[in-house]
Amino acid sequence: MTHFARSSGYPTADRRYDYACGAAADSDHATAADLCEQALEIAPQWAPAWFALGEARGALGDVDAAEAAFRRALDCDPEDSQGAALRIARLRGESPARPPDAYVRDLFDQYAARFETHLVRDLAYRAPAILRDAIDHACALAGREMRFSAALDLGCGTGLMAREMGEACASIDGVDLAPAMAARARASGLYGAVEAGDMQAFVEARSDASVDLVMAADVFVYCGDLAPIFAQSRRVLAAGGLFAFTVQQAQTGDYELGADFRYAHSRAYLTRLTQSCGFEILVCDDVSVRQDRGVAVPGLALVVAAP
């Protein structure tokens, strides 16, 4: 069960909720559901308890009741910082075009302080190094030096990509939806500018053919429909510029929301999209940028060139 460290304003409801989270952690989902219902009798508008009830009911296999609880969580928190819409989509086997912004923002704001130790050390996260190698390979294939004058780092996180590519780029501007992540990237001193905001608006604000590298390391796992960001990346890249990104790999369809609430994209979808934008594919490698419970998660690293 996802534990949200917030208060309902009612100590008894908070305690019931904490016990519910404990019961869920022990896989006692019936007790968890019961305790959530008790908390909601006291604080009926408290989104975290509705969300926890949805999780407990889902774990008990009651899909309709789980969806009803997630809908109540959404009613109580329309911004959807818990990602109730994603839970409902998963229950229905659907993959929405993108997750709620507030969900991604809260997830990474809470994660920012331990992002590097947890992800890099515990989950064998290697997207920035893998993407750097892919860019290096693409430059060799294109017969050009790995040097860029103006680069963009989409979903820059704490700045790991700039650590990999800083020496090859005269300037890198970054953007991240989570202000706490953007603040860490800014503090690294490796970026020209770092914005806290959505990558789509960030790229849309740039002039045509104004950059020669757009990077996105492990960011498209938080976006289903990639057509808008591909089109904008193509527009801002000068001739010969590179668009480099990693994805988690889907075996069928275009994209799907996985059980880990991240998106996976198929090779066929990426090929179709890049070609419809007029990109030439230089590199499309099978990679794994992270582990999940000790197992390598299949992914792809692509580097495509603007004509």
Ligand X SMILES: C[S@@+](CC[C@H](N)C(=O)[O-])C[C@H]1O[C@@H](n2cnc3c(N)ncnc32)[C@H](O)[C@@H]1O
Residues in contact with ligand X by the rule CB under 6 A: 104, 108, 127-128, 155-157, 160-161, 175-178, 181, 198-199, 217-219, 222-223
Least CB distance from residue 45 to ligand X, whole Å?
28
Closest CA to 76 of 35, 39, 21: 39
Cβ proximity to ligand X: between 156 and 303 the closer is 156
Measured at CB, which residue is nearest to ligand X?
157
Least spacing, CB of residue 198 vs ligand X, in Å? 4
Q: Distance between CA 53 and CA 56 in Å, rounded?
A: 5
CB 68 to ligand X: min, Å: 29
- DSSP string of 190-203, one letter each residue: --SEEEES-HHHHH
- State which residue, 142 or 227, has the beta carbon closest to ligand X: 227
Q: Which is nearer to ligand X, 155 or 224 (CB)?
A: 155
Cα 16 versus chain centre, distance: 31
Q: Which two tokens stand for residue 44?
A: 């009926």
Q: How long is the chain?
A: 307
Q: How far is the CB of 154 from ligand X (least distance, A)?
A: 6
Find the angle CA(104)-CA(84)-CA(91) to the nearest 5 degrees. Answer: 120
For ligand X, the closer CB: 13 or 178: 178
H-only helix segments in the chain: 11-25, 29-42, 47-59, 63-76, 84-92, 101-111, 115, 127-142, 160-165, 179-188, 199-204, 227-236, 267-276
Is 146 or 161 the residue whose CB approaches ligand X more closely? 161
> For residue 155, is it left (φ>0), alpha (ψ between -120 and 50) or beta?
left
Q: Which is nearer to ligand X, 38 or 188 (CB)?
A: 188
How far apart are CB 115 and ligand X at their closest, in Å? 7
Distance CA 32, CA 239 (A): 57
User: Residues 199, 235, 218, 273: is their CA dihedral positive or negative?
Assistant: positive
Q: How far is the CB of 67 from ligand X (least distance, A)?
A: 25
CB of 129 to ligand X, least distance (A): 9
Cβ-based nearer residue to ligand X, 88 or 219:
219
